[in-house]
A and B are shown apart, each in its own frame.
Chain A
Amino acid sequence: MNPSKSNLQTVLESGQFAVTAEAGPPRGAKPEIVRQKAKILKGCVDACNVTDNQTSVVRMCSLAACKILRDEGIDAVMQMVCRDRNRIAAQSDILGAAALGISNLLCLSGDHQTFGDHPQAKNVFDIDSIHLLQIAKGMRDESKFSGGKEVDGPPDIFIGAAANPFADPFKIQVPRLAKKVAAGAQFIQTQCVFNLDKFVEFMKGVRDRGLHEKTYILAGITPVKSVPMIEYMATKVAGMDVPPALIERIKGVEKKNQKKEGIKIAVETIQQLKEIKGVRGVHIMAIEWEEAVPEIVQQANLKVK
């Protein structure tokens, strides 16, 4: 084993079904909030993503929260969006992260700032997520900055990207994944899978092109807490595909048991995902509900390193 490899990369390369989770950083400077999340997740995930000002709401930066997770013994995946930083800042943050031992990077475009609490902000989008992948790969593999100059000490990073099999237009989603793989995505974390049929269709397209052999695909899982939450996700969250039958299933359960049902659905989905060829792990996004992760991992009988 290469000691410089991240735990996530090691697990995926070993062929073990990987488990990642997501931790949203706090809306303030309290490190103990991140430490608290780390305590909940430690021992039940192979790595944990830290979101980067998700939904364009200001939070503690991903890099700092990743460092706190790492100090707590969790392999961190730094999410980086193109909305807030140009190619200079992006490369600078990649170097800083690598220097602090954060060795997983997830390259994203980022939600538009109109969703957040600073809709008056100017967005950057100097580069897009595919460029960010190329740049990170170039820094690591060729010791070159995007401007062409030499990197004095390339960053040792495992590079990933997101995929949304449920986004429109559907026909472009496999080719878009192919572009991300060509740009350097070694692992992929998908949007939450609620519509399993559509995900199966997407994965067939992925396998037809052999992409599952070129990148590790982790399917997204979000446990549902309540009826308002699933209805919000179905109607208000961009790029989400929630079948009406799933909403009905949650509605059919007494309010006090809805969280339990949500976890049950997540576990059932994981069992089905494990059967899909090319799915190499799951990415559990329990939004402000990290406590659900250990329960799901245990009930789904997932093992972590």
Chain B
Amino acid sequence: MIVGEQKPIEDILSYIDGCERILLAGCHGCVTVCCAGGQKEVDVLASMIELGRMKRRQPCKITKIMQERQCDVEFLEELIAKSKDHDVVLSMACGAGVQLVAENAGTLKVYPAINTNFIGAIHEKGVWGERCQTCGDCKLYLTGGICPVTRCAKSLMNGPCGGSRDGKCEVNSEISCGWQLIIDRLEATGCLDQYEKILEPVDWSRSRDGGPRKLVREDLR
């Protein structure tokens, strides 16, 4: 899922400075699961904004709204209708959600309240880890199900750099060396001999480097 976290409240207050009627929009999608932009976070952020604005002697009126998915135009109707009585939409969705709202909000300002961090997995309560960089050319079948593009800090395709120590990345001892994980998995699955196959350079044209991507499925249109 997409993992995000709320921006610092001072940053958020600076974006909406001077706006009196604020539509604070949460999302039931990924950001609810990662506790960054669900109903609970909308309620908390609304209180924090009210408090911050009272301190600045600039009271405001906040309308709270939850959408099924802000990244799906089908679900945006209510949000867009409500936004018309407001000075700003503060979206707690991921970057995709914020942008889709902005694209449909006419002349209204739309600002993000969270930073979208990565596509990742939940390790334990309160801990998420990055797993996919959406390169568009999945090689997990060659690397024991561990992604070198994402899990290696240098996205090396052919093995560990010389900098790992005790299975940890040279960048930070909190990060596992992606290639150590790959090698351990290849060994555990009896496929270590696969390591010597030279993996080709990634075709980045299938990644964002080819320009913003679009997927069209004729069978679904």
Interface positions of A from 99 to 147, Cβ below 8 Å from B: 109-112, 114-115, 123, 125-131, 134, 146
B204 adjacent to A126 (CB under 8 Å): yes
Cβ of A275 under 8 Å from chain B: no
Chain B residues touching A, range:
20 to 34
**Chain B nearest CB, measured from A198 CB (Å):** 13
Q: How far is the CA of A231 from the CA of B131 in the complex (A)?
A: 35
B159 adjacent to A179 (CB under 8 Å): yes
Q: How far is the CA of A92 from the CA of B180 in the complex (A)?
A: 33
Question: For B201, what are the chain A residues with a Cβ–Cβ distance below 8 Å?
Answer: 87, 126-128, 131, 146
**Chain A nearest CB, measured from B82 CB (Å):** 39
Query: Interface segment, B41-49, B66-74, B160-168?
Result: B160-168
Question: For A162, what are the chain B residues with a Cβ–Cβ distance below 8 Å?
Answer: 162
B164 adjacent to A168 (CB under 8 Å): yes
A109 adjacent to B161 (CB under 8 Å): yes
Q: How far is the CA of A114 from the CA of B164 in the complex (A)?
A: 14
A238 adjacent to B159 (CB under 8 Å): no
Question: For B179, what are the chain A residues with a Cβ–Cβ distance below 8 Å?
Answer: 172
B196 contact from A114, A134, A167, A178, Cβ within 8 A: A178
Among A112, A166, A182, max chain B CB count under 10 A is at A112
B170 contact from A82, A129, A239, Cβ within 8 A: A239
Q: How far is the CA of A83 from the CA of B162 in the complex (A)?
A: 14
Question: For A109, what are the chain B residues with a Cβ–Cβ distance below 8 Å?
Answer: 154, 156, 161
Known: A123-B154, A125-B154, A169-B183. Is A130-B163 also a contact (CB below 8 A)?
Answer: no
Contact bitstring A216-240, B, C-beta under 8 A = 1, else 0: 0000000000000000000000110
Closest chain B residue to A119, Cβ basis: B171
Known: A83-B154, A125-B155, A172-B183. Is A179-B198 also a contact (CB below 8 A)?
Answer: yes
Q: How far is the CA of A183 from the CA of B200 in the complex (A)?
A: 11
Q: How far is the CA of A130 from the CA of B156 in the complex (A)?
A: 9
Closest chain B residue to A123, Cβ basis: B154
B158 contact from A111, A130, A166, A169, Cβ within 8 A: A130
Closest chain B residue to A239, Cβ basis: B162
Cβ of A176 under 8 Å from chain B: yes
Q: How far is the CA of A146 from the CA of B201 in the complex (A)?
A: 10
Cβ of A164 under 8 Å from chain B: yes
B154 adjacent to A114 (CB under 8 Å): no
Known: A131-B201, A168-B177, A238-B170. Is A111-B183 also a contact (CB below 8 A)?
Answer: no
Cβ of A191 under 8 Å from chain B: yes
Question: For A183, what are the chain B residues with a Cβ–Cβ distance below 8 Å?
Answer: 198
B162 contact from A128, A167, A179, Cβ within 8 A: A167
Cβ of A175 under 8 Å from chain B: yes
Cβ of B118 under 8 Å from chain A: no
Q: How far is the CA of A101 from the CA of B158 in the complex (A)?
A: 30
**Chain A nearest CB, measured from B177 CB (Å):** 7
B163 contact from A111, A123, A163, Cβ within 8 A: A111
Interface positions of B from 135 to 179, Cβ below 8 Å from A: 153-167, 170-172, 177, 179
Question: For A128, what are the chain B residues with a Cβ–Cβ distance below 8 Å?
Answer: 154-158, 201
Closest chain B residue to A180, Cβ basis: B158
**Chain B nearest CB, measured from A275 CB (Å):** 25
Q: How far is the CA of A172 from the CA of B165 in the complex (A)?
A: 14
Question: For A127, what are the chain B residues with a Cβ–Cβ distance below 8 Å?
Answer: 201
B156 adjacent to A125 (CB under 8 Å): yes
Q: How far is the CA of A261 from the CA of B115 in the complex (A)?
A: 54
Closest chain A residue to B180, Cβ basis: A169
B195 adjacent to A172 (CB under 8 Å): yes
Closest chain B residue to A131, Cβ basis: B201
Question: For A87, what are the chain B residues with a Cβ–Cβ distance below 8 Å?
Answer: 201
Closest chain A residue to B155, Cβ basis: A125
Question: For B184, what are the chain A residues with a Cβ–Cβ distance below 8 Å?
Answer: 169
B154 adjacent to A168 (CB under 8 Å): no
B161 adjacent to A168 (CB under 8 Å): no
Q: How far is the CA of A250 from the CA of B51 in the complex (A)?
A: 62
**Chain A nearest CB, measured from B174 CB (Å):** 12
B196 adjacent to A179 (CB under 8 Å): yes
Q: How far is the CA of A183 from the CA of B156 in the complex (A)?
A: 15
Q: How far is the CA of A127 from the CA of B153 in the complex (A)?
A: 13
| Other contacts beyond A112-B163, A146-B201, A175-B159: 11, CB < 8 A | A112-B153, A112-B170, A114-B172, A128-B157, A130-B198, A164-B162, A167-B161, A172-B160, A191-B162, A238-B163, A239-B161
Q: B residues within 8 Å of A by Cβ?
A: 153-167, 170-172, 177, 179-180, 183-184, 195-196, 198, 200-202, 204
Q: A residues within 8 Å of B by Cβ?
A: 82-83, 87, 109-112, 114-115, 123, 125-131, 134, 146, 162-164, 166-169, 171-172, 175-176, 178-179, 182-183, 191, 238-239
| Across the A-B interface, the 9 shortest Cβ-Cβ residue pairs | A164-B162, A238-B163, A238-B170, A239-B162, A167-B162, A130-B158, A128-B156, A239-B163, A125-B155
A-B CB contact pairs (8 Å), 22 listed: A82-B154, A112-B170, A125-B156, A126-B204, A127-B201, A128-B157, A129-B156, A130-B157, A130-B159, A131-B201, A162-B162, A164-B162, A167-B164, A168-B160, A168-B167, A169-B184, A172-B160, A172-B179, A175-B196, A176-B159, A238-B163, A239-B164
